[in-house]
Amino acid sequence: MIFLLSSISVWVKNCEDLAIPDEEKEQLHAFIDQLYEDMDKVSGTFLDCEGSGLYLLQSTCNHSCIPNAEITFPNNNHKLVLVAKENISQGEEICTCYLSECDVTRSRHSRQKFLKENYLFTCGCVKCLSEADQADVTSEEEEEDEENDME
């Protein structure tokens, strides 16, 4: 299953590339944060999912929290492109990240929990293995999200 980026997330990504003064950039970030907060109240966690599709070749790519490739939709349509993020040796497995940009920065426990609940596996990538000695605690952001959901 591949999730397509919404037009809002494409716009936000383009905003990051704007050459504007720091003060304006701070105001823009505050506006974007508020926009996402307001949209989340209406649309929930599937904000960036405008659809899904099954792509035979790309669906064979396994997950890694430190992927060597990423899936893009360069023309914002149904055509998918798999792009290497680094040199990939012949015979090396091509991995993409099944997590959002926000989720991949969370604690190992939070990432593992999400992958187990949504993809039915436990990640054994280099990042997760290197963090295996960390306590099984939930990221602060996830705790805040859960508290907000209860309100």
The ranges assigned to domains in the chain are 2-46, 54-150
**What confidence tier does 71 reach under pLDDT thresholds 50, 70, 90?**
confident
Q: How many residues does the chain have?
A: 151
Residue 88 to residue 97: CA distance in whole angstroms? 16
Residue 85 to residue 118: CA distance in whole angstroms? 25
Alpha-carbon distances of 88 from 34, 36, 80, 91, 99, rounded to whole Å: 39, 35, 19, 8, 21
Residue 90 has pLDDT above 60, yes or no: yes
Q: Is the pTM of this model over 0.75?
A: no
Model confidence over 118-130: pLDDT tens digits? 899 999 999 999 9
Specify the CATH class of 54-150 in words. mainly beta
Mean pLDDT of 47-60: 70
Q: Which of 133, 115, 64 is nearest to 92 (CA)?
A: 64
Of the two residues 31 and 8, the one the predictor is more confident about is: 31
**29, β-bridge pairs:** none
In degrees, to the nearest 5, what angle opens at C-alpha 140 toward C-alphas 138 and 145? 90
